[in-house]
Amino acid sequence: MSFDALNLPAPLLRALADLGFESPTPVQAEVIPAVAEGKDVVVSAKTGSGKTAAFLLPVLSAILARPDPNCGARALVLVPTRELALQIQSMFEQLARFTPVKSACVIGGEAFKHQVASLRRNPECLIATPGRLVEHLEKNSTDLNDLEFLVLDEADRMLDMGFAEELYAIMQRCRSEKQSLLFSATFNHRGFSRVRSGLRDPLHLEIDHFRQINESIEHLKMLADDETHKLALTEALVLGMEDEAKAFVFCNTRLQAQQVSNRLRAKGVRSEYLHGEIAQSDRKQVLARFRDGKIRALIATDVAARGMDVEGTDLVVNFNVPFKGEDYVHRTGRTGRAGVQGRAVTLVDANEWNRAAGIERYLNFRMGVQALEGLEAQYKGPKKLKKSGKAASKTKRKKHASAAKGRKATKPSVARSGSSVESKSKGKGQQYRPLKPRRD
């Protein structure tokens, strides 16, 4: 299918051609016609699937079809984080560059009065984080009386991050005739029914199940003994990248992010770290330097890196195993974007084995196990595994010795340099999709 078949106006087709987008991604092919028909949609699509253009294109198309320069904001895109807002605005600017349609980014961490000034210019589209938008609505620097489209992107994350009240308050201020587009990885959050009740008979589009692992990414785990060993592994992985390649390293704590960045810098790698406490202007600069290739490794916590899309990111290192399957998907989704091959390496120490196994089970896949020559871990994984892939605990084994009898457990093997081996155990009733291990 080509974009021509989606009845998009000429200025948008021209922008798509300039971007080099030849054909719609599956989420775009489904969402664009549904929105053009006036439907509300609830969409679950995996990260990197092209969902930003899937909502921006039909919204821009509708605005262009009925120009109304005197109108207030006609579309609102609400997102959980500042970085995601900036990224969406950047895509907006690229798609709308041959049109007169304007946008404003309304996010925390930036001067309120500058935002008031840009809102006075009457942009058709607002891209906002909930907290800051509520402040503007309360101070009457904008209103949602003319709103035609409400897009909630990463709605599950907004609820997770505690924005439920702001979300409901914003929804209440919107015109009831608006069209709503809800994008979310999961729909089992407690606050969802209230969010969904604001939608009119929505069409459910499950493009890629959120648990679907991106197959353009090679998923590997490396066993590690402790943080010192993890620092050495991270350094070796980053130094082993090709010349122009970039890496994202994810840490669970800010302190670790700083430590990893310091270590890489000490070894001559241009690296910087990002976390939620860093001022917005500094975050923007760091991201710009990463995009321009001035930084090769960006070390980040989950919140700071949510939604970031940086071309040329070949490698994602999980310095720690993330706490949730969704975070694993989002972290690793920084690579392997738009069909390009990427590699995600998760460093797993003895305390994290079970968490990694839980993520594999939840996402229904297995990471290949790999080691680096000279940096093999002393830790070889649990001696015995449960069917779930988690370590069989000694006390439980004693207690349930008879029940455990006959249960097959597999010891994972750690490959020597240059090769990799996959754990063969499978959870009950689970169909693990083997992922090809990399041979360097």
Which residues would be at the binding site for ligand AMP (CB under 6 A)?
21, 24-25, 28, 48-53, 309, 337-338
**How far, in Å, are 179, 193, 261, 334, 349 from residue 300 at the CA level?**
35, 32, 9, 12, 20
Residue number, 195 or 308, with CB nearest to ligand AMP:
308
In angstroms, rounded to a whole number, what is the distance separating the alpha carbons of residues 57 and 13?
Answer: 10
Residue number, 28 or 259, with CB nearest to ligand AMP:
28
Residue number, 27 or 170, with CB nearest to ligand AMP:
27
Going across the sheet that includes 75-78, the strands are 103-106, 125-128, 75-78, 149-152, 179-183, 41-44, 203-206
Residue number, 157 or 361, with CB nearest to ligand AMP:
157
In angstroms, rounded to a whole number, what is the distance separating the alpha carbons of residues 238 and 272?
Answer: 13
- Of 89, 131, 101, 137, nearest to 116 by C-alpha is 137
Find the shortest distance in angstroms from Cβ 27 to ligand AMP. 8
In angstroms, rounded to a whole number, what is the distance separating the alpha carbons of residues 330 and 84?
Answer: 12
In angstroms, rounded to a whole number, what is the distance separating the alpha carbons of residues 276 and 301?
Answer: 8
Residue number, 48 or 382, with CB nearest to ligand AMP:
48
Find the shortest distance in angstroms from Cβ 28 to ligand AMP. 6
272: β partners: 298
Find the shortest distance in angstroms from Cβ 309 to ligand AMP. 5
Find the shortest distance in angstroms from Cβ 126 to ligand AMP. 18
The rounded Cα 7 to chain-centroid distance in angstroms is 29
Beta strands in 149-251 (DSSP E): 149-152, 179-183, 203-206, 217-223, 246-250
Q: What angle do CA 156, 160, 161 make, to 5 degrees?
A: 120
Residue number, 51 or 361, with CB nearest to ligand AMP:
51
Residue number, 248 or 432, with CB nearest to ligand AMP:
248
Residue number, 53 or 144, with CB nearest to ligand AMP:
53
Residue number, 330 or 390, with CB nearest to ligand AMP:
330
Find the shortest distance in angstroms from Cβ 327 to ligand AMP. 17
Backbone angles phi and psi of 204, in degrees to 5 = -95, 120
The DSSP element (H or E) to which 90 belongs, if any, is helix 82-95
- Of 248, 197, 181, nearest to 44 by C-alpha is 181
Tokens 């910087």 sit at which residue?
Answer: 272
Q: Are 324 and 391 in contact (CB under 8 A)?
A: no
Residue number, 152 or 415, with CB nearest to ligand AMP:
152
Find the shortest distance in angstroms from Cβ 83 to ligand AMP. 12
The DSSP element (H or E) to which 285 belongs, if any, is helix 280-291
Find the shortest distance in angstroms from Cβ 89 to ligand AMP. 13
Find the shortest distance in angstroms from Cβ 21 to ligand AMP. 4
- The tokens for 64 are 């262009």
In angstroms, rounded to a whole number, what is the distance separating the alpha carbons of residues 212 and 209?
Answer: 5
Query: Taking the CA atoms of the chain, what radius of gyration do you get in angstroms?
Result: 23
Find the shortest distance in angstroms from Cβ 194 to ligand AMP. 26
Find the shortest distance in angstroms from Cβ 341 to ligand AMP. 14
